[in-house]
Structure 1
Amino acid sequence: MGRLVLALCLAAAGLASVPSAARADDPVPVVVDQRFTTSDGVELQTTLTSSGPVAAKPTVVEFSPYGDNSQTLAVTPDYNYLLVQIRGTGDSDGGFDALGPQSQRDVVEVLQWACSQPFSDGRLALNGFSASAIVLYNSWHHELPCVKAAIMRSGTHELYRDLLVPGGILNLAPGAGVLAMIGAPALLQGADRLQRDPASSLDVLGGLFASGTGVLAHPSLDAWWAERGWRGDANDIPVLMLDGFYDVESRGAFQAFQALRADGAHLVMEGGHDGTPAGTDGGVGEAHAWLDHYVRGVDNGIEDTPEVSLVLAKGDRAAYLAGEHVRYDATDWPVPGTTWTELALATGKRLATAPDATRSTASYLTVPTLPTMSDVPTWSLLEAGGAKALTGALPLLGRTDAVAIDHLTGLTYTTAALSDDVALAGPVALDVPLATSTPGSGIWAILSDVAPNGSSHPLTVGRLSTSYPDLVPGRSLTDGGGAVVQPYGDYSAADRPRAGEMRRYQVELWPVGNVFRAGHRLRIQLVGTSLFSPLSLPALHTIRVGGADGARLRVPVLPGSDLASALR
């Protein structure tokens, strides 16, 4: 089942191991299995795929936890491809360490070995998708020998923040899904392992169990998580990041680009786990050109293409996938010239350019919400894997029209209709004074595009546990006036509020990429956490609106757009 889900996700993302990069007259590929022994004696399964007889060529290396046949990029006959099954997964021995220090050390050792093998001409490249990208980001503080370039798609830059515990709220469904997808190939290949080394099966099972319990045992961002996140750049490797705005790990691509742009990184937002929008190839063409230029020295001009290329939706994810989108190119992220417009949550369900003159409060119950409506990053992954039949048959399930019944299951605030098109791209921040009846409850915010017919389409979400009100000093992104527009929360230790205590929370919503067309409206909704985050406690939340310190939403407006004018 895990491998089926992986295949569906890869196919949806346009990264399945198919011969799309090969030519009709190419020779039959040669596949060579070989075991590599690490410095601590653990054997890893590797598979080399070469077009025709094995010869010294530039070699693309991928470190995958998904077992046999999990290569995620088809390459031309100019390259060999080395798939390495991560320790404790697939047919590799040892214990899976949740992409921690042992797996990171293995990356370095395998690259050192591969660089000097007969199949390599000394030029290596890295490819990673999802987990195979995460282990590379986690390893970047090591010097990675012989690597000339890298392709990274839909991988987290910081595993805690980007995927498994965003906002200090356990993101259970993706975490459980990843473990299932890793565990299934390990079980399927268990027969080979039992014949070769029966004792290693206990290590594999123990590692998978320890990784799962490790996530639950570390709710705060502690040293265990620090070993499974970004720890600096010890390399000078040009990296191409590929992802999509609706992806379950989209924050990671933006943060990684910022960390590696000095090395010549490019960011292409054309889809990932969330599917490839029609009219694009999901960045596959850029990936091949990237390898050819930086590994083989081909003068194809890829280095002169825009550093940042964004495919923006036009109000609805389904329409975006069907081809209704617009491209926006830039030299950096956030896009230079972006301005953040502040919108106040106001009485009468209004989202306005000016706050109410007087203070008031509004309350809602944090009733668990349907993920199809409230958890667009996670649901986009499941839709790409086959769950689209549900929302396709019942489109209302994929909208936020009914996700909140004001003062009962949520609060809804909506702007007036826009008089002109407005393009938003960048991080979003919700600044909200809030009191909870239940310390440890979750703040959950949905940003949507409301069409003229009243249908409300989710674009991105923000999540924050009420146990984490603070920011890491100096790490948040601010606008020209000093307002925080991308909060960088401090999740190092829980600071639970007293019941009823009004505290200020700054909620990070993952970057939005959308053109709100004339006649459409912006909407922010505060609701209960998704059913995919079941450990967040139910509560009564009360927010402050109006006055100088009422709740605010800050949205990124691209150059050429004027949200304030469009709302006059």
Structure 2
Amino acid sequence: MISQLKFPSHLPRHHIKRSSAMALAPEHVNPESIRTAYPSAWPQYPYNEAPPTPEQSEVRYSIYSELARRLRVRDGVELAYDVFRPFAPGEKFPALLSWSPYTRQLQGTLAPLGQNEAGLTEFWVPRGYAQVIADVRGSNDSSGAWDNFGPEEQLDLAEMIEFIAGQPWCNGKVGMVGCSYFGMSQLLAAEHQPVGLAAIFPYDAATDLYRDAYYHGGIYSAWGRFWFTSLMFLNHTGGRVADLSGFNNHFSRILSREDPFDCAYYQERSSGPSLHRVEVPTYFGCDWKFFGLHLRGSFMGWEGVPETTPKKMLIGPESRPRRPFGVYHGEALRWYDHHLKGMDSGVWEGAPINLYIQGEDTWRGESEWPLARTDWRKLYLSGDSLTENAGPAGERGYTVIPGTRATWRGEPKLVFRTEPFSSPTEITGPMALYLTAVSDQDDTDWFVFVRDESPDGSQRLLTRGMLRASHRELDPGKSEPWRPWHPHTSAEPVTPGEEIGYVIEIIPTCNLFKEGHRLKVEISSCDPDTDLIYTHEPLPRVVTNTIRTGQGGSYLLTPFIPR
């Protein structure tokens, strides 16, 4: 029985030791040993110990490369791709497709760039998998105009998968590998159900371009500007892209806020509306720190993919390092060994969901999401406290003046805390802030930060939520008490001076608050610029906001987990 990746005997023992301590972040990850058959990237598994693996693909092949190949698709566009496959003439292997506009050439480097996300060829090919890395249309060496996840790009993706499945070196089964753009594309591919696609492993895969990426709670995110800058450096400055019109058109459309409401432009480029079409086995993954972009998508994906589709999910700690993408290759190998090679990898043993418990630094298996045993409690904003006893009615307020040093720091803000927990207390799940407030303007923004505060005052940001006041409309059919659904299809101005109720979605989290720690909530109407790519631009107006507290006022719906 093979219980872990089999490491060569010549490696020092510290390279191969696996115990319950594998759930703890290593003190140091050697960045020079990421692109190897035994990557040092952490974690590799969503478990406290290396999982039992009766059968596993062994390292036995050298890498044969076929570079700068081209596939002509239905409209004459040519897609550039590289093939890396085991050097074994006459043998057939499953293939893994990595698909993005991030340039094929970047993906084989150690560059710690956010777009180095295709996964590790050095890991997969020696174990008997072919990896195909392709440039989407209009990017790098591919012709045509970039489509930003759009319909043409999706059709290209389906064609590429069917083409790969028919290659003489392929056994007819195709999976996909990579995170972020690479992960989001996996869900879009599965929805088209191309012949040959047998399983996917979408890690860091947002499912809603409007809600997850460009507009959070209806508030424009700086993420788009930063992401487009990265795309520009990769594609505009290298002299390879023949037609830059696709990039320029989409850059202009997003950056000029041409579509401030949710619409067909976003939805046809998002997997969310068609997740019911995903039929191949799907393994979702993300980490708790990625609430600014991808974390919500993992949970929406888990919910949206049919129960009849074999699926698993892991939500872990922050990866070390984040890039190049090299984490969870050990678990993905178990997944693809089973679904693409028919091996008894043991990947379906145990719970379908594995969560990393922050604050405790352990993994735990679960059977559903949200957790069925959740003890939902209302923590009222009362005075400066978060408490189950609402207390007398009251109010607290602040005035925001845009363009000041205070607003750049995310201030002013209101702070509410629980009493120190008398024993370790777990909060795991989605949350919602039911806010009752009065504004003296016809619109404003609400930002909510949730933190773990220790007795010495140090703190960790766990998650956040936000909502533009004019986007407060709810869709009752899609909303849950713990996860409101805002259509974001129109703006409803606020009547100045009128008391308004808001339900603000807060991205799920998981944390064990140690004895003496507090749950801390901050509420403001501006986002600190120090959030960098995940900051948001405040409305350019002076506004005074007053929050109703105590009896009949605001509360946080909080998922306590019995222990």
* TM-score bracket for this pair, using the shorter chain length: 0.7 to 0.9
**CA distance in 2 between partners of 1:210 and 1:273 (Å):** 34
C-alpha deviations, 1:192-217, integer Å up to 9, x for none? x5xxxxxxx2x3x2211211222221
One-letter amino acid of the structure 2 residue matched with residue 423 of structure 1:
E
Q: Which segments of 5 or more consecutive residues in structure 1 lack a partner in the other structure?
A: 1-10, 194-200, 315-323, 376-401, 478-483, 561-568
**CA distance in 1 between partners of 2:289 and 2:312 (Å):** 19
Matching residue of 2:440 = 437
Maintained 8 Å contact 2:73/2:79: yes
Maintained 8 Å contact 1:137/1:156: no
Judged with a 3 Å threshold, the aligned counterparts in structure 2 of structure 1 residues 368 and 100 are, in CA distance, closer, same or farther, namely farther
**CA distance in 1 between partners of 2:403 and 2:131 (Å):** 44
Q: Secondary structure at the match of 2:225?
A: helix
Maintained 8 Å contact 1:426/1:512: yes
Judged with a 3 Å threshold, the aligned counterparts in structure 2 of structure 1 residues 274 and 231 are, in CA distance, closer, same or farther, namely farther
Matching residue of 2:119 = 72
Judged with a 3 Å threshold, the aligned counterparts in structure 2 of structure 1 residues 133 and 122 are, in CA distance, closer, same or farther, namely same
Aligned residues: 487
Q: Secondary structure at the match of 2:261?
A: coil
Maintained 8 Å contact 2:378/2:556: yes
**CA distance in 2 between partners of 1:118 and 1:133 (Å):** 26
Maintained 8 Å contact 1:369/1:530: no
C-alpha deviations, 1:460-509, integer Å up to 9, x for none? 111111111111122122xxxxxx11111121111121233321111111
Maintained 8 Å contact 1:89/1:183: no
One-letter amino acid of the structure 2 residue matched with residue 300 of structure 1:
S
Judged with a 3 Å threshold, the aligned counterparts in structure 2 of structure 1 residues 274 and 26 are, in CA distance, closer, same or farther, namely closer
TM-score, structure 2 length as denominator? Answer: 0.80
Q: Which segments of 5 or more consecutive residues in structure 2 lack a partner in the other structure?
A: 1-28, 40-56, 108-117, 530-534
Determine whether 1:128 maps to 2:196.
no
Matching residue of 1:299 = 344
For the aligned residue pairs, the C-alpha RMSD in angstroms reads 2.9
Matching residue of 1:58 = 94
Question: Structure 1 residue aligned with 2:165, among 91, 107, 115?
Answer: 115
Question: Structure 2 residue aligned with 1:360, among 390, 394, 401?
Answer: 394
Maintained 8 Å contact 2:37/2:59: no
Matching residue of 1:226 = 267
Matching residue of 2:527 = 529
One-letter amino acid of the structure 2 residue matched with residue 148 of structure 1:
A
Maintained 8 Å contact 1:138/1:231: no
After the TM superposition, which of the residue ranges 328-337 and 49-58 deviates more from structure 2?
49-58
Question: Structure 1 residue aligned with 2:38, among 10, 20, 26?
Answer: 20
Judged with a 3 Å threshold, the aligned counterparts in structure 2 of structure 1 residues 91 and 303 are, in CA distance, closer, same or farther, namely same
Matching residue of 2:218 = 168
Quick one: percent identity of the two aligned structures?
23
**CA distance in 2 between partners of 1:221 and 1:89 (Å):** 26
Q: Secondary structure at the match of 1:32?
A: strand
Matching residue of 1:210 = 249
Offset of residue 143 of structure 1: 1.7
Q: Structure 2 matches for 1:36-115, cutoff 5 A?
A: 36-53=71-88, 55-69=91-105, 70=107, 71-73=118-120, 74-77=123-126, 78-115=128-165
Judged with a 3 Å threshold, the aligned counterparts in structure 2 of structure 1 residues 44 and 370 are, in CA distance, closer, same or farther, namely farther
Matching residue of 1:158 = 208
**CA distance in 1 between partners of 2:463 and 2:523 (Å):** 13
**CA distance in 2 between partners of 1:246 and 1:369 (Å):** 28
Question: Structure 2 residue aligned with 1:501, among 498, 503, 526?
Answer: 498
Maintained 8 Å contact 2:85/2:125: no
One-letter amino acid of the structure 1 residue matched with residue 555 of structure 2:
R
Matching residue of 1:31 = 66
Judged with a 3 Å threshold, the aligned counterparts in structure 2 of structure 1 residues 235 and 242 are, in CA distance, closer, same or farther, namely closer
Question: Structure 2 residue aligned with 1:342, among 331, 353, 378?
Answer: 378
C-alpha deviations, 1:358-409, integer Å up to 9, x for none? x2221123467999x999xxxxxxxxxxxxxxxxxxxxxxxxxx965xxxx0
Question: Higher helix share goes to which structure?
Answer: 1
Matching residue of 1:520 = 517
**CA distance in 2 between partners of 1:440 and 1:29 (Å):** 59
Determine whether 1:238 maps to 2:285.
no
Offset of residue 50 of structure 1: 1.1
Matching residue of 2:239 = 190
Maintained 8 Å contact 1:430/1:554: yes
Judged with a 3 Å threshold, the aligned counterparts in structure 2 of structure 1 residues 190 and 208 are, in CA distance, closer, same or farther, namely same
